Every structure is written in structure tokens, then in C-alpha cells.
Amino acid sequence: MSDPISFFFAISILIMSVVVHELSHGYAAEALGDPTAKMAGRLTLNPIKHLDLIGSFIVPVTTFFLGGFILGWAKPVPYNPYNLGGGKWGPALVAFAGPMANIFLAIIFGFALRFFINGFDTAVVNIISLIVFINLILAVFNLIPIPPLDGSKILFSALPYRFHHVQVFMEQYWIFFILFFIFFLWQIIIPIVFFLFQLLTGVGF
């Protein structure tokens, strides 16, 4: 999957998916009492408001042509944790909303592929498969408990305060943790994504 047409569809789906991901963070924060994202004009499907040069273009191009898959992110939607309801779980709920949005998209399109695959031509099947696969990658990747990924906010909300120094350390050196994961542990999540893809769609690799 490295031809220009496949890349065009993949980058378009990625942009749509990361926008929905970030939008979900913003709406979750607003539901918990924080209007920061709305005041910043980020509660919109307009991708221009969300795109990030590195995460939305450079990283996707690199991963697509070197690794055969596509990964990326958008600019984080701002929120003020001190405005959130939900006590110490407020940031975790906001963080969890992003991956859950991607899982929801993967389920909807995955079930469409599972139950109506015979009614689609090959091109449509390929596009729907990309939607499912990309959203599963985004969900699984973002749930990894490494800052600044969503999984870290969930983890830090669950940890007792006596482990606060762990949070400070990981947030200070997050770039090293991310690079270590990308170079040495990335292959761990690929089998998980393949398993979830087959579970939702009934289509194996």
C-alpha cells in the first residue's frame, strides 16, 4: 500500500479521524464544565483549525512510505483541568473521549464491512477497510500510557498522589519514551490492531 492513490485516501481518512478525535476531547471537556476549546474556536470539523505540520503531514508521509501504515495526530484541543467536573477523573474522562471516538468509528464501519461486504465493490471495501484500520491504530496508539498520549492522562488519574514524581519524570522526558516506543516497541500494537480489525470486520490479513 504505497501508491499515490492509496496515500491520498489514507491521509484524507487520517485527517478526518484525528479531527474527530480532538473534537471529542473538546466536547468532553465542555460537558464537564470547561469552555476553553469552544472559546478557542476548536469545536469545529474544519480541519484547518486542527492540523499540525509534524503530526498531520510529516509523520504520516514517513510512516506510510517507510512502514506501510499511516500514523499521525492533530493539534491538541486546549482545556483547563481546573474547570473540569468529575474530580481527579476529569482529565481522564476528557482523554478517554478521543480514543473512544476512534473506536466508535471503527465499530460502525467495521460492522458495515462485516454485514454488507457483498454489496460493496472492491474500491469501497478498500476505503472502508482503511477507515477501520486507521481508527484502530489511533485508538490503540493513543491509549499507550506515555505522555503526551491520552493513556498517560488516564494512568496518572488512577495513580495515588505518592506516585506524582513518576508523572513529573515521564512528562519531563516524554520525547525519549516516545522515541523508544517507536523504534523498539511499535510492533507490539500491530498484532493488536490486526486482531481487532478481524474481530470487527470478519476479514483477516
Distance in angstroms (rounded) separating the CA atoms of residues 188 and 205: 16
- Is residue 205 pLDDT above 70, yes or no? no
Angle value at C-alpha 9, between 28 and 128, nearest 5 degrees: 70
**pLDDT for the residue numbered 161:** 86
Residues with a known catalytic role = 22
Task: Give start and end residues of each alpha helix (H) in 52-121.
Answer: 53, 59-67, 90-116
C-beta separation of 30 from 47 below 8 A: no
- The per-residue pLDDT for range 60-82, each reduced to its tens digit, is 888 888 777 788 888 999 999 99
Structure confidence by residue, pLDDT tens digits, 184-198: 777 888 899 999 999
Q: How far apart are CA 181 and CA 191, in angstroms?
A: 15
- Confidence at residue 52, expressed as pLDDT on a 0 to 100 scale: 87
What tens digit of pLDDT does each residue of 119-175 get?
889 889 999 999 999 999 999 999 999 998 999 999 999 988 888 899 899 999 988
